[in-house]
Amino acid sequence: MPPVSSGPGRIIGADDPAWREALARLDHDVYHTPEWHAAFEGLEGRKAAAYLAEVDGHILLHPFHTRPIDGGGFDVEGAYGYAGPIASSDDPEFLARAWSGYHVWAQDNAVPSEFVRFNPMLGNVRFASTDMAVVLDRQTVWIDLSEGPEALWTGYESRQRWSVRRAEKNGLACEQRPFTEDPLGFASFYRAAMAEIGAAESYFFPDEHFMRLAELFGDRIREFQVLHNGELFSSAMVIGYGERLHYHLAATPRSTRNAYPGNLLLHRAALWGLEQGYRIFHLGGGRTSDPADDLLSFKRQFSKRRAEFHIGKRVLDQCAFDRLCGAWSARNPGPRPPYFQLYRLPERN
């Protein structure tokens, strides 16, 4: 990765001990770890990196992936999940000085733009550079596990309690195991469910990605399965890190949904998390930013607690950005789509 030519910071790779040393000093989540970023390397040519700056005893860490651009160069995108910059201070003067080296690096390498997914549970939008456009994208749902099993159950909507009882009455059972036992089995089940609903190509992670997650995170990832007479009705990956449990990828075929396996799965996962000492179970948001999104509606049954998920967009090198967008527009005549990284859109027929 090209270095920073001037300024207080430097670009580091996932194998640099400084990344983990910085995390030890900062409030962070699993999505900020070098392991998380390394697990996605290779997908669409991604490479893991982080910008680390220290000013007057305070630090800023900004993990990201670089993605190659057709024709040469690369841009910057936050990892899948909820990452974004983290820092030991939100003082504007410190942040301005800390970010200065990152801007120099972007200019030196003609990096056109950046897209960031912030962490709803950390509220780390406060560490964003002033030149970043921050947008509230959607709400996410989280469950407070610290109040015990009775509060967990009474915190559910009545339809969720009914669904769990119905699933159990119909003979469904939920089991959990280390994800390392059969990552490819989960991958196959998950991709089949994604194909059934016509999910976007970006959701079809290859086998190598699941194997990498198992290798890097070990028993931190658990697979919860709901079965009926030996048949798999629903499955989900749940990741534990610090005080938080994260609902990651899940799959429930349409043919089994009327038996409410997903409701039972999340209830059992929440109980397991409570027993393991986790304080927060973050379920995430919907598939879209629509407040009526069906996945978000499902998750709302489990808790009234909400967090705000923000995204960030910024142009890092205006000349490079304009050149790329202009070239795409020239190749694709017609109205310009309202899309930030226009050069990443497919070519028009």
In the chain, which stretches have pLDDT less than 70? 1-3, 5-6
> Comparing 9-131 with 140-308, is the CATH topology the same?
yes
CATH architecture of the domain with residue range 140-308: 3-Layer(aba) Sandwich (3.40)
pTM across the whole model: 0.94
Give the CATH architecture of domain 9-131: 3-Layer(aba) Sandwich (3.40)
Distance CA 177, CA 171 (A): 20
pLDDT of residue 171: 96
> Each residue of 90-113: pLDDT tens digit?
999 999 999 999 999 999 999 999
**Per-residue model confidence (pLDDT) at position 342:** 95
User: According to the model, what pLDDT value does residue 90 have?
Assistant: 97
126: nearest Cα among 338, 316, 341, 308: 308
Per-residue pLDDT, 283: 98
Q: Which residue blocks in the chain are alpha helix, DSSP H?
A: 17-23, 34-39, 92-108, 149-154, 158-169, 183-196, 207-217, 261-275, 294-300, 318-331
For residues 332, 338, 340, 346, the Cα torsion angle rounded to the nearest 10 degrees is -40
Percent of the chain, pLDDT > 70?
Answer: 98
Smallest CA-to-CA distance from 15 within 31, 33, 28, 29 is with: 33
Q: Domain coordinates of the chain in residue numbers?
A: 9-131, 140-308
Predicted local distance difference test score (pLDDT) of residue 349: 75
pLDDT value, residue 6: 62
Average pLDDT taken over every residue of the chain? 95
The backbone region for 247, taken as left when phi is positive above 0, alpha when psi lies in -120 to 50, beta otherwise, is: beta
Q: What is the pLDDT of residue 3?
A: 66
